[in-house]
Amino acid sequence: MPLSMVREGEPSVIKKVGGKEETRRFLENLGFVIGGSVTVVSEIAGNMIVNVKDSRVAIGKDMANKIMV
State the Cα–Cα distance between residues 63 and 38, nearest whole angstrom: 14
Cα 9 to chain centroid, rounded: 13
49 Cβ contact list (under 8 Å, min separation 6): 40, 41, 42, 43, 56, 57, 58
- How far apart CA 9 and CA 17 sit, in angstroms, is 21
In the chain, where the domains are located: 3-68
Fold of the CATH domain 3-68 = SH3 type barrels. (2.30.30)
- What is the per-residue pLDDT across 3-56, written as a single tens digit (0 to 9) for each? 999 999 989 999 999 999 999 999 999 999 999 999 999 998 889 999 998 899
pLDDT of residue 52: 93
What is the value of pTM for the model shown? Answer: 0.88
* Cβ pair 53, 27 in contact under 8 A: no
